[in-house]
Amino acid sequence: MKSRLNAICRPKGFKASARACGLKKKDRLDLALIYSEVPALACGMFTTNKIAAHPVKICKLHLKGRLAQAIVVNSGNANCYTGEKGRAITEKTAELSARLLEIPKERALIASTGIIGKVPDFAKIRLAIPGLVKSLNGKDGSRAAEAIMTTDTHPKEWTRKVSIGGTTVTIGAMAKGVGMIAPNMATMLCFITTDAAIEYPALKAALKEAVDKSFNMITIDGCMSTNDSVIIMANALAGNKKIKLRTGDFAKFSEALSQVCLNLARMIILDAEGATKFITIEVSGAMNNQQAKQAALAVANSNLFKTAVYGENRNLGRVIAAAGASGAQIKENAAVKCSSLKNKFVKVKVDLKIASGTARVYTSDLTPEYIKINAEYN
């Protein structure tokens, strides 16, 4: 496996561990734990799918207290559309983890990814959690990143340092996702740790800005997951002066967080199921930025366009047709430019010729391998 950044353990006071509990086949790591030595300010952003997984619901409930200390993540089973049994398993996982970690249940967050509609085997999870807790250390961040993968080919991690008032603050993050990727947030999970001291409104605003610039601007197949979760924990152990909204320190922290998320978003596209191309779509000349995004996503989600890119078929009519059907205002003399389709990295520029709104969206091509992977996924 590529990537050994140990990213989520880079900020002070964070530990991680990983185990193979049997939810996935062939003894692959499938259970991860992220832990802060002290209570951390926490917030998250989640799927807008009306059929949300039980872990998403529990996270939203627990995050009302604005504090968290642990995140337990399993792969191999989404625990969604699993009724009362699934809900009970999520709650039992939080209760057991919290008891062993000696923290309040409300400070234990749960996340899952994998097959939808199948009740997870809680016996396997229950047996693995004690070992997960006992093996917590400051060096297993990359193993945790590996444990949350499904059809990903490698772990996705990023870390960044930023100076706040002369004090070094560290941000670490890990993510997974290669399919069922579509705004808002594209099946993806992302967990972010930081030792920054920051006020809650500032943390929440920085996370929203980062997600809007990154995970909400990628699409692979236009399919929204039931489990999408981006969660950040900030434990203040860096000792910096507390970051507040609308300050220079906030701007620096927010930019650093956005860069971390954008790099992870790009990794997701580069690792997209069966993909051979990384496509950047830039729309300009829109009525406003929202309409620019609307047009860009319409192009990015066009199967005709994506298959043309795979086949290196320079059919730009498919681009303008998708933009025209997006609902965004567009003139008939709208312009389309495209780089060589023979390269791995492809850039498409669309000028709607209306006003000055802009947007940039990332996607991949659509290949026979994508169809094969999803036809056989179970």
* Whether pLDDT at 41 is above 60: yes
pLDDT at 23 over 80: yes
Active site residue 187: yes
Q: Which of 262, 236, 282 shows the shortest CA–CA distance to 13? A: 236
Is the pLDDT at 104 greater than 60, yes or no?
A: yes
Do 176 and 75 meet the contact criterion of CB atoms below 8 Å apart?
yes
d(CA 105, CA 93): 10
Q: What is the per-residue pLDDT for 185?
A: 39
Question: pLDDT tens digit string along 177-232?
Answer: 865 444 443 458 999 999 999 999 999 999 999 999 999 898 876 667 889 999 99
Q: What CATH code would you report for 278-376?
A: 3.10.20.340
Residues of the chain with CATH 3.10.20.340: 278-376
Per cent of the chain over pLDDT 70 is: 95
Q: What is the mean pLDDT of the chain?
A: 93
| pLDDT tens, position by position, 81-101 | 999 999 999 999 999 999 999
Contact 224, 47 (CB under 8 A): yes
Query: Going by C-beta distance under 8 Å and a sequence separation of 6 or more, which residues neighbour residue 361?
Result: 217, 218, 219, 280, 281, 283, 293, 296, 297, 299, 300
Structure confidence at residue 272 (pLDDT):
81
Rounded to an integer, what distance in angstroms lies between the CA atom of residue 318 and that of residue 324?
A: 10
**What are 343-352's pLDDT values in tens digits?**
999 999 999 9
Structure tokens at 50: 């009306």
Instruction: Let me know: does 42 contact 23? Beta carbons within 8 Å.
Output: no
* Residue-wise pLDDT tens digits, 123-141: 999 999 999 999 999 999 9
Q: Which of 303, 347, 340 is nearest to 322 (CA)?
A: 303
Q: Cβ(232)–Cβ(194) under 8 Å? A: yes
> How many residues are there in the chain?
378
Which of 149, 132, 157, 202 is CA-nearest to residue 10?
Answer: 157
Task: Write down the CATH number for the domain with range 7-248.
Answer: 3.60.70.12
Catalytic pick from 47, 82, 159, 187?
187
Question: Can you give the three-state secondary structure of the chain, one letter per residue?
Answer: CCCCCCHHHCCCCEEEEEECCCCCCCCCCCEEEEEEEEEEEEEEEECCCCCCCHHHHHHHHHHHHCEEEEEEEEEEECCCCCHHHHHHHHHHHHHHHHHHHCCCHHHEEEEEEEECCCCCCHHHHHHHHHHHHHCCECCCHHHHHHHCCCCCCCCEEEEEEEEECCEEEEEEEEEECCCCCCCCCCCCEEEEEECCCECHHHHHHHHHHHHHHCHHHECCCCCCCCCCEEEEEECCCCCCCCECCCCHHHHHHHHHHHHHHHHHHHHHHHCCCCCCCEEEEEEEEECCHHHHHHHHHHHHCCHHHHHHHHCCCCCCHHHHHHHHCCCCCCCCCCEEEECCCCCCEEEEEEECCCCCEEEEEEEECCCHHHHHHHHHCC
In order of 143, 204, 241, 265, 370, the CA distances from 157 in angstroms are 11, 21, 27, 10, 23
Mean pLDDT of 224-251: 95
Q: Residue 142 contacts by C-beta under 8 Å, 6 or more apart in sequence?
A: 1, 3, 4, 5, 6, 7, 155, 157
Are 241 and 170 within 8 A, CB to CB?
A: no
* In the predicted structure, residue 376 carries a pLDDT above the cut 80: no
Q: What is the pLDDT of residue 274?
A: 81
pLDDT at 223: 67
Asked whether residue 1 carries a pLDDT value surpassing 70, the answer given is no
Provide CATH 3.60.70.12 ranges for the chain. 7-248
- Select from 58, 62, 7, 14 the least CA-distant residue to 35: 14
User: What pLDDT score does 183 carry?
Assistant: 45
Which span out of 2-6, 184-188, 251-255, 271-275 was modeled with the highest average pLDDT? 251-255
Q: Which amino acid is at 343?
A: N
More confident residue, 31 or 24: 31
